[in-house]
């Protein structure tokens, strides 16, 4: 059995859980690394370009074993990955094709035709169940199993307790060729996986018996499948796949253009502090000193406490990391408040900015605002205290920080007046030390705005945006997003 990851540069981090789980079950992992291509090509040229990339990759599969192609799909790459799976199924027809990711979760009906199994839940839970099932299939040496059997078997397996499976007949008594939604995974199986994982890797992760006992106790107390995230490993330890550490899932903002609050929930879930330290220490032990975080808002970590208490706990974590790093004579570089863990305006008081200025390895401070119009913020579901934005930027600059303001133009309900408020603010505040990341609205499946078209942007406003970019005060892929989004979201006609 082999896991084959189909990925591009932009979504490579999303496969971290798959590599971790494949490692645990001793399943080989291969990576088909492709490059995004121009949207100017017609569908035939587009398919041919992807086909040539696949042929040149040298990808080989053993037809005597089960090969599983995994996709994680964002709407921006819908056309690309649908074209890719179409070609792969021609060359490797006896393989299993599985898709997850934000676009699949938000619009599974678009993907039924192309994949054998869709994951419409958090990937860790789905993958634990899937690999448990595949291990059972391998042990029972069921050689004549066809792909539709596996898809049907998974749907049955995820409904029943692991210990009740005594006969293959429970799995394979029916045939079903249509694709299946994946229903919630077994919480017991996921908890067992986590406990076994930390026991198996206790020496590699330098876990003491007492710490291992504490972790196991916490895992046993999990009563909601969403809390599996809190204890799931932050990255694979055997493939040396280091990347920014995801420390928070869920977002209380629930902006209507963003999927995070609707898929992961409005109540933030924070990575367990002991688990976070274990993996930061493992990085340091392996001479990886750059420590970055993934969070919809850095300040959401250390939940249910005041800003002062959050800062105290962050400082304690940083001091623990620094103390541990002395053993290896390296100086850790901890990045706080910059992409991919920006800060919400709600937390940008002088105390938090002092903390960022003193402890962050980077002077960049990414501030998520999206629009400076209070009325438009209300329409899109954001409730930032815009009245402090000007002061927060000025204070940041005094602290030698470099603020970058995130802005989206073309949002639903955006008017010329809304856009003028934002552009006037940017024209007043942006300079060499204060810049903006400017984006174009993309309708994302599974959000309240999924069926909305971008609001039209007049020539004069477009000229103002381009002028900010020409001065070097604004960055981002605004023009590319504006020109490409319809083509990227389309399903090619010739599939």
What pLDDT digit, counting tens, does each position of 244-268 carry? 999 999 999 889 999 999 999 999 9
Flag whether pLDDT at 172 surpasses 60.
no
Flag whether pLDDT at 165 surpasses 70.
no
What pLDDT digit, counting tens, does each position of 111-138 carry? 988 998 888 888 898 899 888 888 877 6
pLDDT of residue 1: 85
Strand ranges in 80-151 using DSSP code E only, listed in sequence order: 96-100, 117-118
Phi, psi of 203 (to 5 degrees): -70, -45
pLDDT of residue 335: 96
Band of residue 152 on the pLDDT scale cut at 50, 70, 90: low
What pLDDT digit, counting tens, does each position of 189-226 carry? 899 999 999 999 999 999 999 999 999 999 999 998 88
- DSSP secondary structure of 26-81: T-EEEEEE-----TTS-HHHHHHHHHHHHHHHT----TTS-EEEEEE--GGGHHHH
pLDDT of residue 495: 82
**Structural contact between residues 283 and 324, judged by C-beta atoms closer than 8 angstroms:** no
pLDDT of residue 154: 56
pLDDT of residue 158: 46
Q: For residues 8 and 15, what is the distance between their CA atoms, to the nearest angstrom?
A: 11
Q: For residues 260 and 124, what is the distance between their CA atoms, to the nearest angstrom?
A: 16
* Average pLDDT, rounded, for the chain: 88
pLDDT of residue 148: 52
Flag whether pLDDT at 144 surpasses 80.
no
Q: Which residues pair with 334 in a beta bridge?
A: 291
Higher pLDDT, 238 or 163: 238
Flag whether pLDDT at 164 surpasses 50.
no
- DSSP secondary structure of 231-252: HS-SS-TTTT----EE-EE--S
Q: For residues 473 and 482, what is the distance between their CA atoms, to the nearest angstrom?
A: 19
Flag whether pLDDT at 71 surpasses 80.
yes
Flag whether pLDDT at 329 surpasses 70.
yes
What pLDDT digit, counting tens, does each position of 421-464 carry? 999 999 999 999 999 999 999 999 999 999 999 999 999 999 99
Q: What is the CB neighbour count within 10 angstroms for residue 421?
A: 18
Angle (CA) 468-469-475 rounded to 5° is 120
What pLDDT digit, counting tens, does each position of 89-102 carry? 999 988 889 999 99
Band of residue 160 on the pLDDT scale cut at 50, 70, 90: very low
Helix (H) or strand (E) holding 464: helix 459-470
pLDDT of residue 303: 78
Higher pLDDT, 410 or 173: 410
Flag whether pLDDT at 169 surpasses 60.
no
């Amino acid at each position: 059995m082999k896991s084959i990851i189909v990925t591009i540069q932009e979504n490579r981090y999303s496969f971290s859980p798959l590599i971790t789980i494949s490692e645990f079950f001793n399943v080989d992992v291969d990576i088909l690394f492709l490059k995004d291509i121009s949207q100017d090509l017609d569908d035939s040229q587009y398919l041919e370009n992807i086909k040539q990339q696949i042929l040149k990759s040298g990808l080989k599969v053993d037809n005597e074993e089960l090969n599983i192609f995994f996709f994680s799909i964002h709407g921006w790459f819908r056309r690309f990955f649908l074209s890719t799976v179409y070609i792969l199924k021609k060359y490797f027809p006896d393989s299993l094709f599985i898709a997850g990711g934000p676009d699949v979760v938000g619009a599974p009906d678009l993907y039924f035709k192309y994949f054998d199994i869709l994951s419409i839940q958090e990937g860790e839970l789905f993958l634990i169940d899937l690999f448990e099932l595949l291990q059972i299939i391998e042990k029972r040496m069921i050689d004549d199993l066809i792909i539709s059997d596996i898809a049907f078997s998974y749907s049955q397996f995820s409904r029943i307790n692991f210990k009740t499976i005594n006969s293959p007949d429970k799995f394979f008594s029916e045939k079903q060729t249509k694709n299946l939604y994946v229903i919630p995974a077994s919480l017991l199986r996921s908890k067992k996986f986590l406990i076994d994982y930390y026991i198996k890797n206790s020496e590699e992760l330098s876990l003491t018996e007492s710490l291992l006992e504490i972790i196991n106790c916490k895992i046993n107390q999990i009563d909601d499948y969403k809390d599996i995230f809190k204890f799931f490993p932050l990255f694979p330890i055997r493939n040396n796949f280091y990347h920014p550490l995801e420390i928070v899932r869920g977002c209380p903002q629930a902006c209507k253009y963003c999927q995070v609050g609707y898929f992961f929930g409005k109540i933030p879930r924070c990575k367990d502090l002991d688990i976070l330290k274990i993996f930061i220490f493992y990085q340091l032990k392996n001479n990886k000193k750059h420590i970055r975080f993934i969070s919809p808002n850095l300040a959401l970590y250390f939940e249910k406490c005041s800003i002062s208490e959050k800062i105290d706990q962050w400082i304690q974590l940083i001091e623990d990391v620094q103390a541990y790093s002395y053993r290896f004579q390296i100086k850790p570089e901890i990045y706080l408040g910059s992409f991919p863990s920006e800060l919400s305006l709600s937390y940008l008081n002088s105390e938090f900015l002092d903390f960022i200025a003193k402890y962050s390895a980077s002077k960049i401070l990414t501030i998520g605002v999206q629009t400076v119009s209070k009325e438009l913020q209300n329409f899109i579901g954001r409730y930032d205290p815009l009245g402090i934005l000007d002061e927060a930027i000025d204070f940041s600059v005094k602290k030698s920080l470099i603020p970058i303001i995130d802005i989206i133009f073309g949002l639903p309900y955006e008017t010329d007046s809304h856009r003028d408020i934002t552009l006037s603010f940017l024209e007043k505040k942006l300079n060499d030390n204060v810049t903006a990341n400017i984006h174009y609205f993309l309708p994302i499946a599974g959000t309240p705005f999924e069926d909305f078209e971008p609001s039209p942007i007049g020539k004069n406003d477009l000229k103002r945006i381009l002028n900010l970019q020409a001065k070097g005060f604004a960055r981002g892929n605004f023009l590319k997003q504006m020109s490409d989004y319809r083509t990227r979201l389309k399903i090619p006609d010739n599939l």
